[in-house]
Amino acid sequence: AYERTCRYFCRKTNSVVVCVGYRLAPEHPFPAQFEDCLTAAIHFLRTAQDHGVNPSRVVICGDSSGGTLAAAVAQALVNRRDLPKLRAQILIYPFLQCVDLNLPSYQQNERVPILLKERTLVLGLKYVNLDLGLIKDIFKGCHVSEDRRLKYQKWVSPDHIPHEFKTRGYKPSATSLPSEEICEVAESMFDPVFSPLLAEDSVIAQLPETFLLTCEFDVLRDDGLLYKKRLEDHGIKVTWCHLEEGFHGTLFLALFGRVVAFRS
């Protein structure tokens, strides 16, 4: 299905589109997916001209967990002096952080298909091969040590979400005390490869121009809003598209319908 969507993008934009068939979890543990995408990106940047592509005009793109991978690869490339710089990144309702799973969008869209709040964490835990029995404790914030909470609150906080995105309902949630055992087990969830929003300022400041799409009825909406703020705070140009009636998966489903129509 994604190959069809990529073919559609290729036709409509008159551009070369590379679809990476990266290994999937849980058969291939984290971070195999990121490593495959990074390897593919590096190879293409080195050989772009062989495909009729200007290496200074390469854009990386992904939606949902693919948006996570695209963001992580873009971050991994910022200090590569041996490669052309990415022209831009396109992030479509990406998952970007696991510090706070009670942001306004998580509360408002907890039961909105297709990505329910609990399903989001189930998929995340499977991705990093953690016990699903941790779900309740992670929702309560027991996986975030006091040191991490202090460090990340300047990047991940409901205070950074504009008021208009809280009008559908938001109740600040009490944070449970961290569990040393759970904090240790959940260490991989704070890796910027898993949570790109947690990358250091020195990395964020070097990222390319960004197109960011968020949907109102999506638990991941606020991840996008927080990343938008971080990028803009560092002077990165962000083109933001917010679908007020959109939900997680909207773009893929819409494009898939068009692709089917195109093929028929």
Query: What's CA 216's distance to the chain center, in Å?
Result: 16
The residue annotated as part of the active site, out of 36, 63, 64, 195, is: 64
Query: What's CA 118's distance to the chain center, in Å?
Result: 17
Number of Cβ atoms within 10 Å of the Cβ of 168: 13
The residue annotated as part of the active site, out of 36, 218, 222, 223, is: 218
Cα radius of gyration rounded to whole Å, the chain: 18
**114 phi and psi angles, rounded to 5 deg:** -95, -10
CA–CA distance from 230 to each of 86, 88, 188, 201 (Å)?
19, 16, 22, 9
CA–CA distance from 211 to each of 70, 90, 198, 224, 231 (Å)?
12, 5, 19, 11, 11
CA–CA distance from 208 to each of 59, 182, 199, 227, 242 (Å)?
9, 35, 15, 13, 20
Known catalytic residue: 64? yes
The residue annotated as part of the active site, out of 143, 195, 222, 248, is: 248
Residue 248 contacts residue 220 (beta carbons within 8 Å): yes
CA 155 to CA 159: how far, in whole Å? 10
Known catalytic residue: 218? yes
Known catalytic residue: 188? no
Q: Which positions are annotated as active-site residues?
A: 64, 218, 248
